[in-house]
Amino acid sequence: MTHTLFAPQALLPTGWAQDVLLTWNDQGQLTQVQPDTATPPEGTATAAGPLIPGMPNLHSHAFQRALAGLTEYRGQNADGSQDSFWSWRTLMYRFAAKLGPEQLEAIAYGLYVEMLEAGYTAVCEFHYVHHDPSGRPYADDATLARALLRAARRAGIGMTLLPVLYQASGFGGLPPHEGQRRFIRSTDSMLRLLETLKPPCDAQGARLGLAPHSLRAVPPEALREALAGLDAIDPTAPIHIHIAEQTQEVDACVAWSGQRPVAWLLDHAEVNTRWCLVHATHMDAHEYARAAASGAVAGLCPSTEGNLGDGIFDLPAWVAGAGRWGIGSDSHTCVNAAEELMLLEYGQRLATRQRNVCASAAQPQVASAMALAAVQGGAQAAGRAVGGLATGQQADFAVLDAQHPSLQGLNAADMLSAHVFASHRSSAIDAVWVAGQHRVHGGRHADSAGAIAGLVQARSALLSQ
Ligand code: NGQ
Ligand code: ZN
């Protein structure tokens, strides 16, 4: 059977088009994207507002959704220095220490429903809490990973599952801290976990990849062996890594190896289009050029990077090298694809004292340019065919709410601009479709209330423990 939808305006990879007829098959794959269709086939529904591609969320730690908003008071690092990323991490570890499988599933399910309502149609889950609270593997070693897969399937969001390899507390293979006990795995145990997870991932159309947590957490030998093991399972599987997020991490890497993290990685691993360099905030000019040329995606998480005081990625330098990028909500202090784009552009404006920094010659309207770039980069990072409104891609898209006060009466491109820059922290998403399935109607997922109630309940239970 074929399915169709007619969109008077749609954002295609080449830009805005009129009278677009979308056709997809039972597998949810677009089989035709036809602009300038004078008369759609009889019975075809018409989108009530501009159609935009669904946004892949390329970086998520789902459990952190239940901690969002709870670390916004001044504390201190153990050494007496100012509150920072590292003191936040101590609080986050304390929170992660208590989490159980049912709570993780409830939090992730609520979060994924929120993501769908906010225009994300796929998520890359960077999953590192593997073991029970005492640090022992669960009887089924994949317990928590399966909870995430179930949450994604129930919500109807696409998933790339990235089990995280974590072995050390710092460069040079420093022994892990007590607070990291739930994350630690040998390389062999990681490869067994990947073998275990491959069938359930395949069964729900999820992509399985691997995430070496960071160069801090994975010694060189383990990195090499894990990547070789991954290749044996799937030679094109995505690989994500946190890198060069904090200056302290850069300094420690230089002290250990004489090289900055991104330079070290480029010299010691075959970084290519399978890779997503999450954050990559602190690179020198040479690293920007080399990493961009590798074809890897920069995984930018503007709200979290701001929240944690990471620094500002130099997007013009990255784009000058034809670097690819996408967005992630990471710690979920913000779960809104449009706001993430806004924050990214604003960081660039503040740093450069210019405007419309992320626009391009081909696409001078910045919101449209950013949406297209982030969808393409996000799809590459996800390792799934979710790269926008084109034949062969999955039918993942959102319809803007043309009746939202900020959008009413505008042309389609300006509606997207208003959605990104002027929706006043409300959502101007009306409908969302994933793999051709209508998941969000009138801004709400069918199980919105239940999913959010479950999230809130799991958070309350965790906080009272
Ligand atoms: C994480 N999050 O793994 O959740 C990290 C913090 C770390 C971000 N980097 C822990 N945003 O990097 O050691
Ligand atoms: Zn992260």
CA–CA distance, 149 with 116 (Å, rounded to integer): 16
Q: Where do we find the tokens 């590459």?
A: 380
Tell me phi and psi for residue 45, to 5 degrees. -75, 155
Q: Which atom of ligand 1 is nearest to the CA of 242?
A: 9
Taking Cα atoms as reference points, which of 105, 99, 103, 75 lies closest to residue 89?
A: 75
Strands laid side by side in the 239-243 sheet: 239-243, 275-279, 297-300, 324-327
Distance of CA 443 to the CA centre of its chain: 21
CB of 89 closer than 6 angstroms to any ligand 1 atom: yes
Among 242, 276, 308, 333, residue to substitute to test ligand 1 (most atoms within 8 Å of Cβ): 242
Run of H or E residues at 437: strand 437-441
Q: What is the mean pLDDT of each run of 10 residues along the chain (465 residues)?
A: 97 98 98 98 97 99 98 82 92 96 98 98 99 98 98 98 98 97 98 98 98 98 98 98 98 98 98 98 98 99 98 98 98 98 98 98 96 98 98 98 98 98 95 98 98 98 95
Q: Which CATH fold topology does 2-52+390-449 show?
A: Urease, subunit C; domain 1 (2.30.40)
- E strand intervals along 151-194: 158-165
CB of 330 closer than 6 angstroms to any ligand 1 atom: yes
Tell which phi-psi region holds residue 396, choosing left (phi > 0), alpha (psi between -120 and 50) or beta.
beta
Domain with CATH 3.20.20.140 in the chain: 54-382
pLDDT of residue 82: 85
pLDDT of residue 79: 77
CATH of domain 54-382: 3.20.20.140
Question: Any idea how long the chain is?
Answer: 465
| Cα dihedral 326/332/335/340 (nearest 10) | -40
pLDDT digits (tens, 9 = 90+) for 199-208: 999 999 999 9
Neighbouring CB atoms inside 10 A of 364's CB total: 10
pLDDT of residue 162: 99
3-state secondary structure of 188: helix
For ligand 1, atom 6: residue with the closest CA: 89
pTM over 0.95: yes
CA–CA distance, 425 with 375 (Å, rounded to integer): 21
CA–CA distance, 95 with 25 (Å, rounded to integer): 43
pLDDT of residue 44: 98
pLDDT of residue 7: 98
pLDDT of residue 6: 98
Amino acid at 313: F
Structure tokens at 300: 């930018």
pLDDT of residue 30: 98
Contact partners, residue 43, CB within 8 Å, separation at least 6:
none
pLDDT of residue 310: 98
pLDDT of residue 78: 72
